[in-house]
Each structure stands twice: as structure tokens, then as C-alpha cells.
Structure 1
Amino acid sequence: MLRVTPDVLHYIVEAVPAGALLVDANGLIQSSNRELQKTLKYNASELLNQNLEMLLPERFRRGHSTLTAAFFKTPLKRSMGNGRSLYARCKDGSEIPIEIGLNPLVCDQGPLVLATLIDITSRLQAEQMFRQIVVSAPYGLMLINPQGMIELANPLICSIFGYCEQDLLSVPMEKLLPERYRKEHGNLRAKYAQQPVMRVMGPGRDLTGLHKDGTEFPVEIGLSPFIWNGQNMVLVALSEITARKKMELDLRQINSDLEEFTYVASHDLRSPLRGISDLLEWVREDLGEDPAPSLLNNIERMTVRVHRMEKLIDNLLKYARAGRSQNEISQVELDEVLDNIEELQPLPEGFTLERQLDLTSIHTAKVPLETALRNLIANAVQHHDQSSGHIVIRSCSENSLCHISVTDDGPGIAEQAHERIFKLFQTLSRTDKRGSGIGLAVTRRLVETHGGKITVTTNQEQRGSTFHLWWPRFIRRDINGSIPP
């Protein structure tokens, strides 16, 4: 126990950074500092030699003298009222929530206690606001303390795992894991505590939760370090993804069936086409050196139709594959993408390409973006109604998206056709022989598969159309490594 002389008591009390007062064994206030006087709205003379109970709400005064006597009988430094809500009564009768620390002292006039008092109104308001946010969150939230115990669980967590809140509080979070994962999880939790950062839990692995009834289900979890009541906690955001996993499985099966059907159909269709093509060649040879012109013309027309059918089959395969392949995510320079397009697919003589790039770099998959832009540039050239033309590529940032526009000075596209041109095998007119009706459909499929959007507008006052492509500036991957839909 610390022994002090009377002349330093005043300095000790005043130096405390929180509210502080000295109380003797009879419960009388011997001194108080300015911070306490400000907090409780008293002046020093109003507190001096008054019973400490004047600062307590009426409901707490009964029995307080007994607690004071017990403390002085065994004076130990400690916080007061662990696990209980403590309040102080101000001069105007209002009450404030407080934390109290008790420090025994000895001086010439006998034993004293230095009581430090902290107004925790703001902290409790912040905690209450946080609780309200947690309770109303549209996903499961838990607060885990350094010992791995659940300090807080919102209603959605309780619903997901089948427990009531009281069943989860102050129990190890491993209770919510299948038995086979619990030992390993303790090690992972300790490792995370050494470097607590906001991140997804278990990237690349399937995570599993355990329901109260013993059933297991897939979950997705995010971890965030969080300070709560002065302790380093972990805020766990959890989503139950059974329905999504089933949808992903169904989608994979559908895509697999589609791919299998496409290849089978392609093979079955190509075989008779090859046979027809061979027959036409044999007929041409059997006609001799001087066949009738009308007969040769009919054979040529049939040959053209066979080649067109082969191209149609190729386009079907191209459409089925669009957006299916996994692509490396990297920092992509738009100038480099356009350089590649112009090198591999040079513009016809008389056509020019202008670049106005405000946003020059995005983090994405390069191949699908380059394919989409190549298709749009080729479309502008292919459907131009003149021997020369000018194409302008613009880019800018719009929140999390990169807006790329491709503007031409061609004949334009009627407004009623703006949606139809993106559908499979749709061209501007039945007599349009320049396109297959597949390019823009493939482009839209590529763009939407990677989380983007594509539209077209037509300049009503001048010639030309503009294709607007919104592409994510940052392509993320799911925890299994795939690009999410």
C-alpha cells in the first residue's frame, strides 16, 4: 500500500487525468480534482467532508457503507463493480454511467482510497450504435475475443446455426465448426492474431459450418480486426451459401451439358457438310471441260451455302465458349490492347482510329477485354457504308467501372434495333450479307460474364453510332479462384 504525506495528496489527486477524489475510512470526501467537479457539476467546497453516498443514485446507497468498510478492511488496488453497471449522480440530479478504479493509500491521518471516475456515456452510446448496426445487418456477424470466445452474435447468426443468443455467448467459436476442423482452427486463429488484417477467411478452400442439429453447410467468411471495450477482437461476417453453391453446381452442369451438346452437334453437322462438299467437288470434276454455265453457277451457289453453314457452326462454338475460359488477371494498359488489335487486324485503307484515353490502365483479364474491343472495331468497319471512316475510342473512370466508348461515323443504327443487334444471329436487315449476327452477341456475353455492361446509342443529328462498354476496373476472384458472375 502506498504511503504519502499530506502535502503531496493534493498534487496526486489533481494530476490524475480522469475525475478523482480521496475518501477516508468513514466514507467522507477529503479532496477532489477539477475533472471530477466538472463531470459531476459540483465545486470543491460542496464536496469537501461530504459523504461519498451523495454522489450515488438513491437505489445504490443502501449497503454502500458496508462495502466501504469491507474495502478498508482488505484494501487492494482494483476496479469497482466488475460485471455491473455503475452510475454517478450529478448535482442537478441527472445520472451518468461510469467506471471506477480504487487505489488504497496511507497518510498521517489514516488510510484513504483514491477513487478514479471516468464518464463512459460516449463509449456506451457508440457501443449501443454498434450493437444496433450488428443486429440489423443483412448478414451474420459475430464478435470474437482474444480467447476465441463469442462476445456478440446477431440474430442472423443465431438463425443460421439454429441457436438462441444466450447459447452462443461466452462459448468457443469452434462450437460452430465440424469436429474435424476444430483443432486446426485454433492454430489458424492464433496465427491470425499475430497479423490481424481485414481479409476473406480460407481463400481457395471450402468452408463449412455446423448447425445445432448436426448438419453441415457451406459458408463464406470475412475477418476484420476490431477494438471492443479496450480489447482486440475479431469481427466475423458470415454468409450461409448453400443456395449459391447449388446454383453454381447447377450452372456448371448446364454449361457442361451445353458444351457437350455444342461439340456433338458440331461434329454431327460437319460430317454431312463435308460429304456434301466432297460430292460437289466430284460433280464438278465429272462435268468435264465444257459444262453448262447455269450448272456451274448452281454448284457454286451450293458451295457458298455449305461454307456459310460451316461458318455458322464455327460461330455457334465461339458463342458457347465466350466467357468460359479462365484468364489471368493483371494490370492491363489500354494503349497496348489497341496496339495489339491494330497489329493483328489492320484497319482497311481509308479508315483511321483515334484514341482519347483518360483512363489508361485497369486491373482485369486482358484477353476477353481485347476480344470485345476487337469485335466492336471490326463491327464499325464491316458495317460502314463508305470506303473511308473514322473511329474514336474513349475511356474514363466511373466509380468502380471503366467506361470505354467506340464511336464511328457510319450509317448509324435505328433505335428500335439497339437491343436486337445483341441477340444471336440477328442482323440489321434480312439482306445484310456482311455479318453473321454472332459478333455482338459474343461481345455482350464476354462483357456480362466479366461483370460489365454494353449498350449502343445513335447520334440523331450526325452520322454514326457509339457502343458504350462498362468494364470493372478491378476484377476480383471468388474464394475458389474463379471470376464470379
Structure 2
Amino acid sequence: MASTQRSLSNCRLMMAIRMMKDTGTLRPMLKAKRQRRQKKTQDDIRFRGLLESAPDAIVIFNGEGDIELINAQTEKLFGYKREELLGRKVEMLLPGRFRKAHSRHRKKYVSNPHVQPIGFSLELAGRRKDGSEFPIEISLSLMETADGVFVTSIIRDVTERKHAEETLRLQSVIVRKMAEGVCLVSDRDARIVYANPKFESMFGYEAGELIGKPVHILNYPTPANSSETVAAEIIDVLKKKGEASFEIHNVKKDGTPFWSRANISRFEHPQFGTVWVAVHEDITERKRIEEQIRILNEELEQRVQRRTAQLEAANKELEAFSYSVSHDLSAPLRSIDGFSQILLEDYCDQLDDQGKDYLQRVRAATQRMAQLINDMLNLSRVTRAEMRRESVDLSTLARIVAAELQQTAPERRVEFVIAESITAIGDARLLRVVLENLLGNAWKFTSKHPGARIEFGALHPNGASDGHSIYFVRDDGAGFDMAFADKMFGVFQRLHDASEFEGTGIGLASVQHIINRHGGRVWAEGEVERGATFYFTL
């Protein structure tokens, strides 16, 4: 029976096909069907191309939540292969703590697509195959087809955006708590779009009161320019350089002027666009102190000028006095000494021994007075002489002075020990005076010893260069008591009687003046009858 029915059906099909051929309708039908099949294939290829080229992950799942289709970006984002996801529940792409809630939201969305989509008000995270999580943003759309309901979910990794938002939040917290005043000024219209509490307090405004205000209201006008012009000039410099620092004369809300140091730079803000970030530090007190210092410096300069004029006048008077001493006082002394010598030579037979002794004493006193006058004049010249700094070979100077001393008493047995290649920066003429006095003293105070040793050298503490060296002159002569060391460099100060060692007490004072002019210091160490050492720096 069944076989008979199939035969009848086949006969009817064959008769229908024969009728279509006879009437010419079969060929168009076949062509239309072929075109529909080609169009469907092209649509599928186009859809696949769009799906695979999308920058975000796309997951299509059915009404039961089973994954039907994914793109390559989904594989890359979640670390799964395509075959590992197809047919699985879409919740496998979420951390376990979100899956139940997500399943409920999904079912509500499928039953009522107008419900807020998943992720709109719910913080979601994606879960990769390796278990790591990352923040995501999901957009949903529902499709109703003959094969059922399908949901297309577009999933975007918002890790970088979240990081940027967190960075911006932290920066905002930092800016609010900064000790400096910070404001943001829009590059578009030069209006303030943000000001931290310190900035508002610095300028005397309430919270939020500055927002939207033109920045020029903060600038103090000058006699030549309005506040608008001052602000425009600052912005013009910034647009040329991109960033700059200014000392700006500002004005508070109540009209009080003050100064601030502003470091300003360009910044691309995610909310406000291109802005100028200005960090202000109130420097009003510093400017006030600087102004006081400027006034004091001007007063000091005027005082220095007056003092210089007084010193120049005093130097001229001293020069006149020196000339008077050298001429008016020396001439009578020479006369006294000369006539005393004539009396001793021409009237010797008319004088008894006491008279001769008196004349000898007169001559000795006049000669000592002449030497004292010469030493005073030398000290005056040392104090006033112009300095010429240059490299000076102290070793060579010391050998020259030693040779001159030996010529004065060639019979003496004195060993000079002079270190090689000792140099210094200073005035060669004045430094020779120093060595003449120090070596001359060593020569003088060793004169009562049958044999003597005089040494010149330098110490270099901590490997210092010559500019920081300590120079010394050492002898093994009469020495001195250290209790009187602080008196040695005073004018006319002597630690030995003139009858024991000649001198006027001015030589060491001259040494101290010269060393002071070189910015150094001089001191001495000694012991009675065991010698002395004089040190100096330059």
C-alpha cells in the first residue's frame, strides 16, 4: 500500500515538472532560488567580515544564554579558542561572583529588552581563561529571528580608561591637598575651569566662585597696562613656549594686591580639553624682604661711597704726613747725627770719656729714631700699596732673601733649608716683604747660637692645593714664651729687650697687614731657647 502511494507521488512530481517545462516556468524559479542562495552567501560573508574586523569582542548567544557565535577579538581578549566557547553559557566569561546576578539580568533582558542593559549600572569584570580579571563595559542588542531570540553583546576592555580615571582621581586629590594654589584655565576662552581650595583661599574667593570667571580678574593692572592686557601678554608667552615661570602681581577679591610665583604649563585634560595648569606660590613676604634688601643695599652703597671718599681723603692726608715724616723729621735727625759725628771726630781731644759716651748715645738714639721712622713709613706703604695678584715662586724669593742675609755676616754658620717649588698666588713685592721679615727675624734671633738652622717650607693638609697650603719659617734660636704669643704682631710690640736684639717692633705688624690683605692669617709657636715657627696662609 505504501509503495503504491510513493509511486503515485513520484508520478505527480514528474507530471508537475513536465508541465513547468512545457509552460517555461521552471527555469526562472531555479534562477531565483540560485540568486537567493548567492545573496545569502554574500550577506554571510559581509557579516562575517564585519564581525571579525570589529575592534571589540562580540559574543552572540541565544535566549538560553548559550554562545552561538564569537569573533577573533573575543578569543584574543579572553584567551579561549573559538571551539572552547561555542555552546557554553555566556556566564563563563564572568568571574564566579557575578554569574548568578548576570543570569538573572540576562533573563529579564530577554523577556523585556527595554530593561536597562547589563553593565549600565552594574560594575562588571571579565574573566580570562587563565583566571585573571579585567574591567569591562557591555552593550546589548536583541534580535528576534525565525530560529528564535538572539542577543548580541559587544564587550569592551576598559582597563586603560579605568587606570586613567583612577590616575585623574588621585591627581585631583593631590591637587586639592597641595600647599600651593592650583588652577586650570581653558585655552579656548581663558576662563577658569578649576581651582583648588588653596588657590581660592589665596585669592580670597569662596569655593567654586572662580569657576567660569575670566583669568584676567586675578591680575593687578599696571600703570601702563590693564589687567586684560597683562593676562594676554602672559598667555602669548605661554603659547610660544608651551610652559614658563612668572612672578605675577595679583589682586585678591577685596582688592588687596600680592605677589605670586607661577609655574604654568599646557595640559590635555580629559574633561576640560586643552588647559593651562598654573601652580601659584605666594611670594609676597619674599618680595617685601627683597625690597627691604634693595633699599638697604642702596643705603649701604651710598655709605660705602661716602666712606670711600673719606678713606681717599684720609689716604691723601696720610701721604702728606708720610712725606712730612720722611722729610721734615728725618732731616733734623740727620743733622743731629751728623753734627754728633763731627764733634766726635773733630773735637775728640777736647771731650772727656763721659762726653764722648753722651755723643755716642745721641747718635745711637737718632739712628734708632731714623730706623723707626723708616719702618713706620714702610708699614704705611704696605697698608696702602695696590696689590697685583700673580703666581709667585716663594722658594726662589726665600733663597734670594737668605743669600742677602748671609752677605751681611758671612762669618756666621747658618744652614738654610728651603723647600723646592713652593708657589702661591699673591703680590710678589708684598710677599717678599713677608719673607724678608720672617727670615730676617730667624736670622736675628739665632745670632747668639754658634750654629743655626733656618727652614722654609709648606704643609698641605688633606692634600690641599697650594691655594690652601700652610707656609712656615722655622728656626732653632731664642724662641719665645707662648704666653705672650698674642702680642707679637702688634705695632711696637717686642718680646726681647732692644739691648739683646735690635729692632723696632714693626716688622711682624707689617707681616700681619700683608697676610690679611691676601685673605690669610698668620700665627706663631715657640719655646724659650728652643726656636720658633711662624705659619701663614694666603
- Contact kept in structure 1, 2:58 and 2:153, CA below 8 Å: no
Give the counterpart of 2:231 among 182, 185, 192. 185
| Deviation of the 1:234 alpha carbon | 3.2
RMSD of aligned residue pairs (Cα, Å): 6.1
Q: Which residue number corresponds to residue 12 of structure 1?
A: 50
- Which has the larger share of strand? 1
Equivalent AA in structure 2 for residue 437 of structure 1: N
Q: Which residue number corresponds to residue 516 of structure 2?
A: 437
Q: Which residue number corresponds to residue 213 of structure 1?
A: 254
Q: Which residue number corresponds to residue 90 of structure 1?
A: 125
- Contact kept in structure 2, 1:144 and 1:233, CA below 8 Å: yes
Q: Which residue number corresponds to residue 346 of structure 1?
A: 391
- Contact kept in structure 1, 2:134 and 2:157, CA below 8 Å: no
Matches within 5 A, 1:43-192: 45-47=88-90, 88-90=123-125, 118-119=158-159, 120-147=161-188, 148-178=190-220, 180-183=226-229, 185-186=231-232, 188-189=234-235, 192=238
- Contact kept in structure 2, 1:350 and 1:389, CA below 8 Å: no
**Superposition TM-score, scaled by structure 2 size:** 0.47
- Within 2, Cα distance between the matches of 1:264 and 1:30? 100
Give aligned-pair identity as a percent.
16
Q: From the superposition, tell whether residues 281 and 254 of structure 1 become closer, same or farther in structure 2 (CA, over 3 Å).
A: same
Q: Which residue number corresponds to residue 223 of structure 1?
A: 264
Equivalent AA in structure 2 for residue 182 of structure 1: E
Q: From the superposition, tell whether residues 91 and 283 of structure 1 become closer, same or farther in structure 2 (CA, over 3 Å).
A: closer
Question: Relative contact order (C-alpha < 8 Å, sep 6+): which is higher?
Answer: 1
**Counterpart of 1:275 in 2: which secondary structure?**
helix
- Contact kept in structure 1, 2:392 and 2:424, CA below 8 Å: no
- Contact kept in structure 1, 2:56 and 2:155, CA below 8 Å: no
- Within 2, Cα distance between the matches of 1:405 and 1:169? 65
Equivalent AA in structure 2 for residue 300 of structure 1: N
Is 1:299 the counterpart of 2:299 in the alignment? Answer: no
Equivalent AA in structure 2 for residue 216 of structure 1: P
Q: From the superposition, tell whether residues 299 and 349 of structure 1 become closer, same or farther in structure 2 (CA, over 3 Å).
A: closer
- Contact kept in structure 2, 1:208 and 1:217, CA below 8 Å: yes
Give the counterpart of 2:299 among 257, 278, 291. 257
Q: Which residue number corresponds to residue 279 of structure 2?
A: 237
- Within 1, Cα distance between the matches of 2:168 and 2:466? 48
**Superposition TM-score, scaled by structure 1 size:** 0.51
Aligned positions, number:
348
- Within 1, Cα distance between the matches of 2:171 and 2:150? 46
| Deviation of the 1:195 alpha carbon | 4.9
- Within 2, Cα distance between the matches of 1:248 and 1:257? 14
Q: From the superposition, tell whether residues 192 and 99 of structure 1 become closer, same or farther in structure 2 (CA, over 3 Å).
A: farther
- Within 2, Cα distance between the matches of 1:100 and 1:151? 32
Q: From the superposition, tell whether residues 267 and 309 of structure 1 become closer, same or farther in structure 2 (CA, over 3 Å).
A: farther
- Within 2, Cα distance between the matches of 1:115 and 1:6? 22
Equivalent AA in structure 1 for residue 125 of structure 2: C
**Highest Rg: 1 or 2?**
2
**Counterpart of 1:90 in 2: which secondary structure?**
strand
Matches within 5 A, 1:405-444: 406=467, 408=469, 410=471, 433-434=511-512, 435-437=514-516, 439-440=518-519
- Within 1, Cα distance between the matches of 2:227 and 2:195? 21
> What whole-Å deviation, never above 9, does each CA across 1:401-434 have from its counterpart, x for those lacking one?
xxx995536459xxxxxxxxxxxxx9x9775724
Equivalent AA in structure 1 for residue 270 of structure 2: N
